Amino acid sequence: MSKYYLNYLDELESEAIYVLREVWAQFENPVILFSGGKDSIVVTHLAKKAFYPSKIPFALMHVDTGHNFPETIKFRDDLVKDLDARLIVGSVQTSIDNGRVAEEKGKNATRNALQITTLLDAIEEHKVDCAIGGGRRDEEKARAKERFFSHRDDFGQWDPKNQRPELWNIFNGRHFEGEHFRVFPISNWTEMDVWNYIRREKIEIPSLYLAHEREVVWRNDSWIPKSEYLILEENEKIETKKIRFRTLGDITITGGIESDADNIEKIVQEVSAMRKTERGNRTDDKRSETAMEDRKKQGYF
């Protein structure tokens, strides 16, 4: 006799597919926010399943900071071709050139916060009423309070104290012209779930997640990769280390960890033994205790 209950990965998968189908049913012009990171790759994989045998009905939207890992861009372009999907690129460089935002100054300058303006401009320009993201509630304390269907006002802002109640699996995506929603189908997944799922489904991921030799510099407690944007401080030196990345953001702020995990099996083992959160290597979250909440209120992912 067969069992009539799901294991938790299957349950999370079905939940995410349900959410993606709700998006398609409730919105006019939804997109998947695609960063090239593992979470948005998993969301895209789930979207493929949700609508099979139809194509993914969403365009992929990438906010390009200009400070990318070249591997990420190639991965993105290959995937878009493979899915026969539409790609929308919002460029931070263009936002800077147009005077919409100004580059940060100083040693820890990044383009991380500038993405918010570019993202909101792209959402407005393309009349996007729902942006699907790979955000997870286990990532960060402000994200722990996020809804599946998260309302944004006409300035793209999140009001965490005034969120719509979300009961059972009934999602309310109603909004006025100019407002939009952020939807997070893998809200209930943890980093470990994502890796277990990638392993189970044999999902392709950028090689950056696997251990490889790279020129890096030790900064803010992690290995920052050498790139054309990296300005060395005194006492800092470039070394070659075998590293891998736990999350992928801009090349300027994403720190690697020393690792020998060069395949998915080893990564799953390594992650299960990890004693630090994955965003622990992201300098963008370290700026203050509520750095994520503050950025999210303005319209960050």
Partner 1 sequence: MEINNNQLLRFTTAGSVDDGKSTLIGRLLYDSKSIFEDQLEAIENTSKKKGHEGVDLALFTDGLRDEREQGITIDVAYRYFTTPKRKFIIADTPGHIQYTRNMVTGASTANAAIILVDARHGVIEQTKRHAFIASLLHIPHVIVCINKMDLVDFEEAAYNKIIREFEEFSSKLLVKDFRFIPISALLGDNVVNRSENMPWYQGGPLLHTLETMHISSDINKVDARFPVQTVLRPQSEGFIDYRGYAGRLASGVLRVGDEVAVMPSGFSSTIKSIEGPSGSINEAFAPMSVSITLNDDIDISRGDMIVRANNQPEASQDIEVMLCWLNNNAAKPRAKYTIKHTSNDQKAMIKEVIYKIDINTLARKTEDTELTMNDICKVKIRTTKPLMIDSYRENRVTGSVVLIDETTNETVAAGMIV
- Give 76 or 151: the residue with its C-beta nearer to partner 1: 151
CB-based burial label for 107 (10 Å; 0-12, 13-18, 19+): exposed
- Give 90 or 185: the residue with its C-beta nearer to partner 1: 185
Minimum distance from CB of 137 to partner 1 (Å)?
A: 5
Beta-carbon count within 10 A of 182 CB: 24
Minimum distance from CB of 168 to partner 1 (Å)?
A: 5
How far is residue 45's CA from residue 101's CA, in Å, rounded to a whole number? 33
- Give 236 or 289: the residue with its C-beta nearer to partner 1: 289
- Give 49 or 212: the residue with its C-beta nearer to partner 1: 49
Q: Under 8 Å CB-to-CB from 36, ≥6 apart: which residues? A: 62, 68, 69, 72, 73, 75, 76, 206, 248
CB-based burial label for 78 (10 Å; 0-12, 13-18, 19+): exposed
- Give 90 or 299: the residue with its C-beta nearer to partner 1: 299
**Which residues form the interface with partner 1 (CB under 8 A)?**
2-15, 17-18, 21-22, 24-25, 49-55, 137-138, 141-142, 144-145, 160-161, 163-170, 172, 174-176, 187-188, 190, 192-193, 196, 272, 274-277, 280, 289-290, 293
Residue 66, CA atoms < 13 Å, CB-side half-sphere = 15
Minimum distance from CB of 89 to partner 1 (Å)?
A: 27
Longest Cα–Cα distance in the chain? 68
Minimum distance from CB of 116 to partner 1 (Å)?
A: 18
- Give 127 or 276: the residue with its C-beta nearer to partner 1: 276
Minimum distance from CB of 241 to partner 1 (Å)?
A: 21
Question: b or e along 141-177 (b: 16 or more beta carbons within 10 Å of the residue's beta carbon)?
Answer: ebbeebbbbbbbeeebebeeeeeeeeeeeebebebee
Which H or E run includes 152?
strand 149-152
Minimum distance from CB of 202 to partner 1 (Å)?
A: 11
User: C-alpha 126: how far from its chain's center?
Assistant: 20
Minimum distance from CB of 282 to partner 1 (Å)?
A: 11
- Give 138 or 270: the residue with its C-beta nearer to partner 1: 138
